[in-house]
Amino acid sequence: MTNTILQAVGLTQQYGPTRALDGVSIAFAEGTATAIMGASGSGKTTLLHALAGIRTPDTGTVHYAGSEISGLSDADRSRLRREHFGFVFQQGLLVPELTAVENVALALMLNGTPRRQAIGPAAQWLAALGLAGLEDRRIGELSGGQAQRVAIARAQVTGARIVFADEPTGALDSVTSDEVMNALLGSTVGRGQTLVVVTHDPSVAARCQRVVTVRDGRIVADQPTQPAAAGVSQ
């Protein structure tokens, strides 16, 4: 029996005349990778933000590891996000003035870890993602795929139990996209953690165990992928 780590019930979100979420209920089993697909404007990012506690929906609840997060104060939700969740976006939102290892260490430092204790684990994560030797490069001195792997290391260094990714391969060519997905899957579901990834790319979705399709703020399909297609390779 798999554990449900995240569960949303009845999420709605209205932006003026636009119903971005229209009664979405969904649960995620721990240790699985789920792709969220759908046309532009269908509500994918709004759903991801509601699930991750970035934004409180108008109505509905989100439970993480059995506790309701939708009712937490902003400060408590921020702490929960920093300590339990990791984020990877299309543009990695890395700090260009800092080096690769400093960007990763920053996630730990924001949680109160002193810099000298943060650098070691940050360097270990970079090495695990194939970036040994590039620790002291600034972000502008890395390729797009390398920078996304720095973002994955930053999302994971705090021990995040769920990684939320929004178009993590959107700016990459197909070979680099595949490498980044290998890194993302290997560092999450490959270690028993959970991945929720918004993507337009069917080849990214095919690497996940489950594909959820959103249209007009509703889930219109929720299906497992072919077992042969899904999978984790390092």
Cβ closest to ligand ATP, residue 10 vs residue 41: 41
Shortest spacing between CB 47 and ligand ATP, in angstroms = 7
Shortest spacing between CB 45 and ligand ATP, in angstroms = 3
Locate all alpha helices (DSSP H) within 61-190, ordered by sequence: 74-84, 100-110, 115-128, 144-156, 174-187
Shortest spacing between CB 18 and ligand ATP, in angstroms = 5
Shortest spacing between CB 44 and ligand ATP, in angstroms = 4
How many Cβ atoms from other residues are within 10 Å of residue 115's Cβ? 12
Identity of the residue numbered 208? C
| Measured CA angle at 40 (ends 37, 45), to 5 deg | 65
| Measured CA angle at 29 (ends 174, 65), to 5 deg | 120
Cβ closest to ligand ATP, residue 20 vs residue 129: 20
Shortest spacing between CB 167 and ligand ATP, in angstroms = 7
Q: What is the DSSP-derived secondary structure letter of residue 224?
A: E
Q: What is the DSSP-derived secondary structure letter of residue 49?
A: H
Cβ closest to ligand ATP, residue 107 vs residue 198: 198
Rg for the chain, CA atoms, rounded? 17
Cβ closest to ligand ATP, residue 14 vs residue 61: 14
Q: Give residues in contact with ligand ATP (CB under 6 A).
A: 15, 18, 20, 38, 40-46
Cβ closest to ligand ATP, residue 2 vs residue 40: 40
